[in-house]
Amino acid sequence: MPAISAASEVDYLLANARHIKSACQKHWAVLKEFGAKDGMLKYLDQSIGAVEAVQAQHVEDSQQQVEQMRLELKDLIGACRASARLVAYGINTDDKAAASALMVGKKFPHSDRGILDYCKSITASVRKYGAKLADFGFTREDQAQMGDTAAAFGKLLATRRKEKSHKRGQSAQREAAVKQLRRAVHFLRALGRRAFGESIERNDFAPVAKMRVAIKKAPAVEAA
C-alpha cells in the first residue's frame, strides 16, 4: 500500500479515496457480484472532485497587512498627539482652541474603530494647524500619510469582514463535501472487505498508511 505524510486530515481522506477508487477499478467484476453499481464509482469521482475543489479555494488572508497598518497608524497618531500638545501648551501660554480642536485631552485610541474615528475627527484640525504641527515635528508628509493610511485601513477592514464571511461559507461547503466523501470511502471499503472476506485481496481496501516522520535530534556539542 502507498504511504503518505499526514499533512492534513482532508489530504489523508483524499489519498484514501483515490486508493479505494483504484482498488474498486481493479476488482470491479467481483464487487458487482456483491451489489456494486456503475454509478457508485461515478459518485466517488464526483465526491473526490468536490473535496479537491474546496481544498483549492483560497481567500487571501489580510490579517498581517491589517496588523502592520494598525501599528503604522498608531505611530502616526502618537507623533501627531505629541506635536499637538506642543502647539496647544506653549512655553508661556496655552492655546485652548488648539487643544480642543486637536483633541489633546482625548485618550489615545486603541481599537480599530477608535483609530478610524480619531483620524476622521481630527482631519480638519490637522489641516487648520498643519503649519504649527509641522514646526513641532509632525511634517506635512506625516499629515498626508496619516490621512491616506486611515482611508486605506478603513477599506482593508471592510475587505477583512467580507473575507471572514466568505470563509464561513467556504467552511460549511468544505465540511459537507468532506462528509460526503468520507461516507463514500467507508461504504466502498466495507463492500470490498465483504466481497473478499479473508482473502489476500481484502488488503487492497485497507486504509492508506500514514507515514511517521522521525525527528532527528541535533548531535550534542562536545565541550572543548
The predicted-structure confidence for 183-222, as pLDDT tens digits, reads as follows 999 999 999 999 999 899 999 999 988 654 333 444 444 4
Q: Is residue 116 part of a domain?
A: yes
Q: Is the pLDDT of residue 223 over 50?
A: no
Average pLDDT over residues 131-148: 95
Based on the domain organization, do 48 and 134 belong to the same domain? no
Q: What is the mean pLDDT of residues 65-73?
A: 90
- The pLDDT of residue 221 is 42
Q: Is the pLDDT of residue 2 over 70?
A: no
Phi, psi of 211 (to 5 degrees): -75, 130
In a domain, 32, yes or no: yes
Evaluate whether residue 81 is within a structural domain.
yes
Residue 223 included in any domain: no
Residue 152: the pLDDT is 93
Residues 178 and 145 in one domain: no
The whole-angstrom separation of Cα 13 and Cα 175 is 12
Question: Nearest-CA neighbor of 51 among 185, 147, 156?
Answer: 185
- Residue 92 within a domain: yes
Q: Are residues 67 and 159 both part of a single domain? A: yes
Grid cell at residue 177: 463535501
Distance separating alpha carbons of residues 190 and 164, to the nearest angstrom? 39
Provide the pLDDT for residue 1: 44
Per-residue confidence (pLDDT) for residue 203, from 0 to 100: 93
**Residue 74 and residue 159 in one domain:** yes
* Residue 43 shares a structural domain with residue 75: no
Please give the Cα distance from 200 to 66 (Å, whole number): 57
Q: What is the pLDDT of residue 213?
A: 34
Number of structural domains found in the chain = 2
For 18-61, write each residue's pLDDT tens digit.
999 999 999 999 999 999 998 999 999 999 999 988 776 544 45
Q: Quick one: 84 and 42 in the same domain?
A: no
State whether 95 and 147 are in the same domain.
Answer: yes
Pure H helices in 110-139: 112-128, 130-135
Question: Are 96 and 160 in the same domain?
Answer: yes
Residues 120-129 have a mean pLDDT of 94
**Closest C-alpha to 132, from 158, 157, 103, 102:** 102
Range of the domain at 72: 63-165
My answer on whether 176 and 161 are in the same domain is: no
Q: What does the pLDDT read at residue 56?
A: 65
Same domain, 51 and 115: no
Domain co-membership, 22 together with 109: no
Residue 218 lies in a domain: no
Are 55 and 105 members of one domain?
A: no
Q: Look over the chain and give the mean of its residue pLDDT values, rounded to a whole number.
A: 85
In terms of average pLDDT, the best of 11-20, 171-180, 208-217 is 11-20
133 domain residue, yes or no: yes
Domain assignment of residue 157, yes or no: yes
